[in-house]
Structure 1
Amino acid sequence: MRKIGIFIVVLFLFVAAVSADLRITQPKDKTITLKQVLNLEISGKNLGELSINNQLVGLGLNDSFACALFLRDGKNYVKVSGSKGDTKALRILKLKTFPDIEELYNGKKFWGKSIVVSMATLGYIEGYPDRYFYPTNAIARGEFASWLARVKKMPLPDLSKDVFYDVPKEHWRAKHIKAVLEAGYMTGISADNFGLDDFLLRREAAKIAVLAEGFPLHEFQPVFVDVAADSQYAQYIYTAFANGLVEGVSRKIKAYDPDRELRRVEAAALLSRFKQVKQEMVRLYNFNQGYNEENFCRVNIAPGILSFAVKPKEIEVGKKSVIRFNLELSPRGNFFPVSKVLIDLSPLGGLPDVELYDDGTNGDKVKGDSIYSLNVSLTPEKKGQNIINATVVDELGWESQATTSLRIVK
């Protein structure tokens, strides 16, 4: 029994030692970030072969490795597998935000920040082309129709003709507008016009929300001083209020301001109170759901340089010569493609950022074979050994460097 006990202890220590070889030093599991790119740093003893998200990233590795994680909005899963069979996993939540949402308002956190960030991350709302959200801007009817169609996950119809005079079938919001019209959630402002760019009023928004959520109209006692019991939208406003869809505009006075334009942040808040959206927002921040291989994020490593050489390796001083640079890269596969390959010819009296080519021109023989080349004509003025540096940069900005040498003789 004692021998068996010793064997079990030794086996446990061996397994622990093997599993401890692979460590992720950053980022941490359950990271929440606004960054689109994070550095993944791995350490261990004799890492050997390493795969990330089922993609081989290195062979013969020693005690450390780093790469980039390119995150999508929402949940991102990372699986790191070592050559000894040990596996580590990371769960990363990438949130989408806007510069003006991150700014402080009068020194305080903006009240709608978490709502806007969550709704944007879920893909329901968008900002403007300049990447700002403009939360206090009034929302147009066309914008709200798109947001509503996304929230309700409505199938978008094919269009063979214009939806309205002001909504041609080619307009990118046309299918959203057609969908909410057919569902009976919204109507046009006239028989011919939807009011695509007209602003939505708060009373109209309450009615749309009640119709979209399918709530029966309530018997009510007037709550808001500016929404009389016999007003046109009273039943919809009070039904929406009773079901937690809308709020008043003041803590001091019970007022709804029904004829004011609905602001973009108010529209986001209204839609965030829909039952289905509330459930999705809870799931969004739950690290125990939705993290699997379907949510693998994209991985990137620095370009691999297989060789960098110059031919001939020796030329005569004062004599015009043509030399050829060749730099061969390892295949990029699913990694970000190379954006440029540069060499520094300043030691030879040239420019510090001369580009090599893989397009069949400028001395390159075969287009797209991952061998970057350049023919250079020069007349060296002094002898000596010259070190030439090469830099390879991918589309994500990751760099690799290599050197070669050219000897100038008499």
Structure 2
Amino acid sequence: MKKMTTLLITFVLLFGTVGAASAALPEYGEEWQNAPANSPTVSFTDLPPTHWAYKYIAEMVNRKVIDGYPDKKFRPDNTITRAEFAKIMLTASGIQAKKVNYSSFSDIPVTNWASPFVEAVKDYMSGYRTASGEYIFNPASPALREDITVALVKLKGYDMSRLPDHSTIQAMFKDYDGISESAKDYVAIAVENGLVSGFPDETFRPQATVTRAEATVMLWRAFQF
């Protein structure tokens, strides 16, 4: 009888804990919801107040995290590059850009406009090692969803010393296998902490490019937690 009682208590504790953790997970598409209740007004000719990301963009523009272009357009649907995301991520976090007389990446000379921003984010946005041994950043390449997710998790300093549970994201996302092995721990942590949630069709779209509007929303959400 005592053994049965112990097993029952263990069962309740185990599944009670699992249920509590699952309840805290974001709903599909949640990362594109919960817009700021109040936001300042911005005037971009291509960004009407009815745009799905208007309130997020208005708030981030007001915080001077991101800006439009001299022709008074915001271009919300333009794909954001890795260099551009490095810049707005730094601005959002308050980290100072680093102007240096050397470059950590062979494809970004120190005279490049992006050099100070890329040097400052190199601990958060990984570069790539080419077959010839060069270390590159690919500044003009589109920022991918998994790129941004990894960068935000690193920037926010979540504890990566424990082993994140992949079973949740494996069950949540039909395209789990498309997430790079090196990114899976970070995606799991990001989902667990409500930074990202995937899409209503149960995909994460790890290799999808990100628009300026989407990047702005992801940054806004990251700094609400």
Same fold (TM over 0.5): yes
Partner of 1:269: 217
Q: Are 1:188 and 2:127 matched, yes or no? A: yes
* Residues 97 and 116 in structure 1, CA contact (< 8 A), matched pair in contact too: no
Partner of 1:128: 69
CA shift, 1:131, in A, is: 2.5
CA shift, 1:264, in A, is: 1.4
Partner of 2:119: 178
Q: Pick from 129, 136, 141: which aligns with 1:198?
A: 141
Give the secondary structure class of the aligned counterpart of 1:130: coil
1:223-372 aligned within 5 A: 223-228=172-177, 232=181, 233-249=183-199, 251=200, 253-275=201-223, 278=224
Partner of 2:101: 160
- Alpha-carbon spacing, 1:172–1:231, altered in 2? closer, same or farther (3 Å): closer
C-alpha distance in 1, partners of 2:83/2:179? 29
Which entry has the higher C-alpha Rg, 1 or 2?
1
Give structure 2 stretches of 5+ with no counterpart. Answer: 1-38
Amino acid at match of 2:87: S
Amino acid at match of 1:226: D
C-alpha distance in 1, partners of 2:106/2:180? 31
Partner of 2:165: 219
- Alpha-carbon spacing, 1:197–1:120, altered in 2? closer, same or farther (3 Å): same
CA distances 1:348-378 after superposition (whole Å, capped 9, x unpaired)? xxxxxxxxxxxxxxxxxxxxxxxxxxxxxxx
1:25-174 aligned within 5 A: 95-102=41-48, 109-174=50-115
C-alpha distance in 2, partners of 1:137/1:235? 29
* Residues 125 and 147 in structure 2, CA contact (< 8 A), matched pair in contact too: no
Higher RCO (CA-CA < 8 Å; seq separation 6+): 2
User: Normalization by structure 1: what TM-score?
Assistant: 0.40
C-alpha distance in 2, partners of 1:112/1:212? 23
CA distances 1:52-101 after superposition (whole Å, capped 9, x unpaired)? xxxxxxxxxxxxxxxxxxxxxxxxxxxxxxxxxxxxxxxxx964442211
Percent identity for Structure 1 against Structure 2: 27
C-alpha distance in 1, partners of 2:135/2:177? 31
* Residues 67 and 74 in structure 2, CA contact (< 8 A), matched pair in contact too: yes
CA distances 1:77-129 after superposition (whole Å, capped 9, x unpaired)? xxxxxxxxxxxxxxxx96444221126xxxxx211110011111101112234
C-alpha distance in 1, partners of 2:214/2:174? 20
- Alpha-carbon spacing, 1:94–1:115, altered in 2? closer, same or farther (3 Å): closer
CA shift, 1:266, in A, is: 1.2
Give the secondary structure class of the aligned counterpart of 2:46: helix
Partner of 1:72: none
User: Normalization by structure 2: what TM-score?
Assistant: 0.70
- The structure in which a higher percent of residues are strand is 1
Amino acid at match of 2:173: F
* Residues 163 and 174 in structure 1, CA contact (< 8 A), matched pair in contact too: no
CA shift, 1:230, in A, is: 8.3
CA shift, 1:195, in A, is: 0.8
C-alpha distance in 2, partners of 1:163/1:229? 29
Give the secondary structure class of the aligned counterpart of 1:99: coil
- The structure in which a higher percent of residues are helix is 2
Amino acid at match of 1:198: S
Amino acid at match of 2:125: M
C-alpha distance in 2, partners of 1:166/1:126? 26
CA shift, 1:133, in A, is: 1.7
**RMSD between aligned alpha carbons?**
2.4
- Alpha-carbon spacing, 1:130–1:158, altered in 2? closer, same or farther (3 Å): same
How many residue pairs are counted as aligned between the two chains? 176
Give structure 1 stretches of 5+ with no counterpart. Answer: 1-92, 104-108, 280-410
Partner of 1:294: none
C-alpha distance in 2, partners of 1:141/1:269? 16
Partner of 1:18: none
Amino acid at match of 1:164: F
